[in-house]
Structure 1
Amino acid sequence: MKILIADDEAPIRDWFAYVLTQKVPGLKAQVETAAGGLEALEKMAEGPPDVVFADIKMPGLDGIGLIERAKEQFPRTVFVILTNHAEFTFAKRAVGLGVYDYLLKSEITARKVAQTLADIQKSFFTAVPRPAGPEAAERIEEPEGVDWSALAGRLGADGPSRYLAVAVQGADRGAVLQKQLPDTPLVPVLWGDCWEAVLPAAAAGFPGWDPPFSVGLSAPHSGAEGLQDALQEAVLALNTAFLSGCPGLYRWGDFREPPQLDSALHALRKRLSTEIAYGGVSAIRGDLSRFLARGSQAGPARVDWVRKNCHRLLAQMEDRYLQELREVEPDARRVGKPVRSLADFRAQMEEMLAAVEERQKERDAPAIDTAVHYIERHYGDRTLSLTKIAGSVHLSPEYFCRLFKQKTGVSYGTYLTTYRLTRARELICTTDLKMAEVARQVGYENASYFSRLYKKHMGLSPEQERRAAPPAGQE
């Protein structure tokens, strides 16, 4: 395995070189180092590494810039970010670039480095069993360097018969697939992260077969001219395993564009930008569920779009999450992890929503006491409204209503009306104010409406209440 360490701190580079050559059992690695992003790019051009450990902040070209430029030229290279807690803003940008993992410099150990490399090897670089004979797997160049006619000949796709492309993630899985389907002629080719082949369309049903990993199947094609489309369709179909997070057989033709996927994303983004600070966690959960439901139906061509937006939504949520928690935990931090599936995305979102919700419960319970005191001081204000009261305690109207009823046992509207009419009864029974003035002092501009409301809630009209009141000093 070829590994490149890109960090502007010489002690970090030296420590990594020592760990990778002396402290990781069984690792046979060629280790190179670079003091910055530009030097790293130059060394990658000389020979692409399998893994790059890159500091996220470096002079000149930083880790983000390095990954952005290198991903286009070296798509097979796996990146691991080295970061400090204070660099969270940079780290969340790297999420959308598909970095494999993060290592926090303050917590890094030789064991952690060894485990990260073991996980990478398992996911991307498992050795390929190479059977003897003409069916041995071979690695081809990047798509732009492929001789499609020659490749079609080797795969048996240059005749008039129809065929499908098949793709599985990880070279070892290709060998397993071939063993599990011994009667299906498969000529394997390694291309990037996937093991790919073509097979006769008639053999593509795989009746009763439940693979322990994910397999992508293209639509039917024929001739050398259809090979590139078939292979791309197989890989895109395989990518849809991200949506379910489950092993299985994924066919290109089984998908259609889900309705209102873009609008579901827009609604969730908008909700995240406005509702966290105002306690709208339940509303966020509703929009999150709608986005997940529609995203899970996305077709192969939209999977990357869904994946990237999951990363962006997590970054947006992390911003709100940290803002919320830093009020009580100044050092609160959360460095995001790559999203492996929609279920993983949901779990990470729910983790942060639950933490924010717990924090809000602690913060918002006193808010209702504050709101009650606000009503008692301003009940005579005719412009007093739900929006104004909720805003006085920094809660959204919807969340305020729900919280108010939980705390007091009655709705906000009922509480305000009852309080106003109670104050009105005191004025009716202890003063000679005209009823229109009583109505005005307790917040009602229309005396007739006040009179009807008073009788409905108190059982007597204001005039009947005054006549029934005992003379002053005889209560």
Structure 2
Amino acid sequence: MPSILIADRDANERIGIGWLITSCAIPYDHVYTAATAEEVIQSLESHTPDVLCLELDMIGKAQWESLKLLIEQYRPLVLVMTAEATFERAMQGIELNARDLWLKPQTPEMIRRVLTRFCRDRMDSGARERQQGGGGRSAAELSHRDLFFPSKKPGKSHPLMLAQLEDPQRHPELLHFLSAYPFREQPILLPASDAIVGIFFADDPDPLPALQQMGQRLLRDWEAAYDDPLSLVMYHSGDGEQPLNETYSDASQALHIRFFKGYRQVSAVRSRIAWTMIDPFLTPAEQRAWVDMLHAAGKEELKQWMYRQFFFKEEPYPEPGLLRIRLTSILAQVRRYMKAHGLDHGHMEEGYHRVFETILYSPILYRIVQELLLFTYALIDSVHAHKEEARADVIELAIRYMESRYADADLRLEDVARHVDRSPAYFSTLLSQKHGVSFRQLLASMRMKEAQRLLLETSLSVQEVAARSGFVNANYFSKIFKEKLGTTPRLFRIQKKKQ
């Protein structure tokens, strides 16, 4: 029977795992424990356990090389544990040829299942080697190192399954699900940075149809229990001697198919993906077309153009990175449109940066296109609203100018229109649309209000009041005053003072 060494600084963890092994009758002959790095090294040398369950965080730099040498010498099956979900910890596990990596805390059921599998793998490793004809690597020997580094020994090519969630933070849940899943033949499961890798041992010369069928069933079962979208790649090249790291590299390329198909898909792939190369930048004609559609506020034209460009239904697909560059080239035209209308600030500027981040990092092409279109629609609406506000602002600016200059008897419509940078005819139309009066009527009203104020609040003569109010002379002022109020300026002053 195999033996196991549980190395963890937390006594409760050591006791708990040991109790789980005993209570679940996992057939380990001996269970050793270690609380420090020194005890780990001593136990490896004295007991040579078959399985090492090691907390990575307890190993310091001083003991690291010694530990690696002992693991290479005695070749236990290594399971590493850590509370730090970092790339550095994952690389340490790879250096130790770890078969599995646990992120603390783990459930008792997960611990039981994995330790049982390790025990079975250690006991059956010799039988598996014989089943593979003696020339291949046994399942017990396969580890993360085989995925990422070239093998020095020739081996049999294995079918792979790559399972990827939209939220990588939930990959521990996926690993738990796959470890408990009733596969016909249990694969070796190795968590990678962007997916869970399943390595199968199949005698079928073409296992891909069966794997795809199994993947469809697995996908349905996952969606029945979890809400996070899952994507599966089933890969088998048919090359009986392809090294595992090359197989994994080719299969990883196939993960990018989700960029076009989305999640909740099973992709069966037989060779490395051959992407179509495209020119990612807009041609001068395409740039002009975008400028015209933006200025014409052609939302439907924009949508149809984007759909024709980016909704691919058949392989071979364009290289995803080049499509992202093309999308940023389109966003550059939108950016120029923003700047041309002075909208490169505030919430529109925040929206622009949000779309830019989506283009760079969103895993699904459809979402990128939709986000870009929605932002462009909002920008077109903002430009339209901005123009309406600008039209209103022109009138308010003109009125403020008239209020500061109405005392000038020579003030003309042309002067005010020039001040707001509009033609006299266009300005006169805007004024009439907003206030329902002509320029002459508005100017006369301002002057009359000021004349009434001066008559009541000062002792200025009628001639002086007329001059300060912008009228050409006192006689004209008196005539207009009587037409508007039905009395002369002098009688108006007398009547108001009596009141």
TM-score (norm 2): 0.39
TM-score (norm 1): 0.40
Q: Give 1 or 2 for the bigger CA radius of gyration.
A: 2
Give the number of the structure with larger relative contact order, counting CA–CA contacts within 8 Å between residues 6 or more apart: 1
